[in-house]
Amino acid sequence: MRVITGSAKGQKLKSFDGLDTRPTTDKVKGAMFSIIQGYVEESCVLDLFAGSGALGIEALSRGAKFCDFVEQKRAIMKIVEENLEKTRMANFSLYTQPAQSYLSSCNKKYDLVFLDPPYGSGLCNMSLNLLKSRNLLNEGAIIVCETYKNEEIDMLFPIYRQALYGTIKVTVLKNI
């Protein structure tokens, strides 16, 4: 797993060994960023269910204004910290808490949100509901959901693009 392009291009990122994380492959990450390339620069980003932090770090490397990383487990957040240090990223905040707690108390608005929760957990839909009900998105914001191919997503926002990569479905939603 590495940073694909931008200021940290080519930097290898650590991931957490175990069943708690499922790093987004470089192929899927490259496809995601190809779809959203016009929405990254100068954006305010939320990397919910951050895992290794690869998606938020890729956004920062490509010129995002800042990124909030949210990860429930401290041991996994340590990997995010190490990856941010290694890539020399700035303009970020780290939150070690459950996604629902973060979204329920959040008072920020985002332009780009990455949702890559454990497959089949229902956390993608819970997050979409909270993003909508708490008005946490700027107009025109993009939400990138990575799920198992058969997982249903609540259509609270219009689909901008959707693609399958083997067993992985990437759904890009837009807040209009």
pLDDT digits (tens, 9 = 90+) for 49-89: 999 999 999 999 999 999 999 999 999 999 999 999 999 99
With H, G, I as helix, E, B as strand and everything else as coil, classify residue 12.
strand
pLDDT for position 23: 61
pLDDT for position 14: 86
- What is the Cα Rg of the chain in Å? 14
- Please name the residue that has the structure tokens 């041991």: 75
CB 123 within 8 A of CB 99: yes
Going by the DSSP 8-state scheme, the letter that residue 49 receives in this structure is T
- For the chain, residues with pLDDT lower than 50 are 19-20
pLDDT for position 19: 43
CA 67 to chain centre: 9
pLDDT for position 4: 75
Q: What is the pTM of this model?
A: 0.92
CATH code assigned to 31-174: 3.40.50.150
φ, ψ (nearest 5 deg) of residue 143? -120, 125
Domain boundaries, the chain: 31-174
